[in-house]
Structure 1
Amino acid sequence: MFARISLFALVTALGAIMGANVLAQTSCQATYTVVSGDNCVAIAAKFNVSDAALLAANPAVDSNCDNLFVGQQLCIPTAPASCQAQYTVKSGDVCISIANMFNITAAQLEAANSDIDPLCDNLQPGEVLCIPAASS
């Protein structure tokens, strides 16, 4: 009896995970098929989206992005309408230098990118940032 309940729970959980993935993908404007060697940072950079946006669009992918598998279909989100541009972080970048490049404040940059922490010490090379329009 316990084996039947466990099997039922497993099938139900898998169905929920796969169903969530299908639901997320039904509104996708673009999809990507995972290939050997892929990871979330590389996929996000390839499509100029943030890691956080890629994960949000693909709820079946865990927050560490360690459950990708070859052949998996991922939803590729489009840039938010509030982004005037996108910028790919390079080694050594800090918020103020990126903000200065686009004539915005560090606070505006942080507000447009919720995954940047308040001290702006978590930027990762390859991460794609949303650049809001400069205030006039």
Structure 2
Amino acid sequence: MIIFILLLLPLLFSVVFVWIIPTVSICGKLYVVKNGDSCWSIGKANSITVQQIQALNPQVGSNCSVPIGQSLLLQPPCTPQCGAVYTVKEGDSCWTISQNNSLTIAQIQALNPQLTSNCTVFIGQILFLQPACNSGGSTSTAMTTI
């Protein structure tokens, strides 16, 4: 009897830890072009084709021109309700974009960490206007910028 109890003690007092890690599929992944980048090198590093880069970023054109500092979308937004993006056009500023989309400049900067503190934008730059979304359909302020 005593031996049986001793054998059960480790089972009675053992603790099992379980961690549940939710998987979140963030879409609307941005890439900021660096010196020496090309559509081919960006595509290869991010498992995306040049044609997909061009389809997601019409501003690069058929020759796939990618100036340093330009933001490229590498994954499409999840739904029209979340992950909405805007391509900066001639005459745009953070102020005009914020006014036209009922946002504050601070909100635009929070959604686009690649922006400088004075919120300078340039033609062809892609900006998030709504948070990226997760696989459950709810929004998340997390965004992937690489």
Asked whether the two chains share a fold, i.e. TM above 0.5, the reply is no
TM-score range, shorter-chain basis? 0.3 to 0.5
Higher helix share goes to which structure? Answer: 1
TM value normalised by structure 2: 0.42
Higher strand share goes to which structure? Answer: 1
Return the index of the structure with the highest Cα Rg. 2
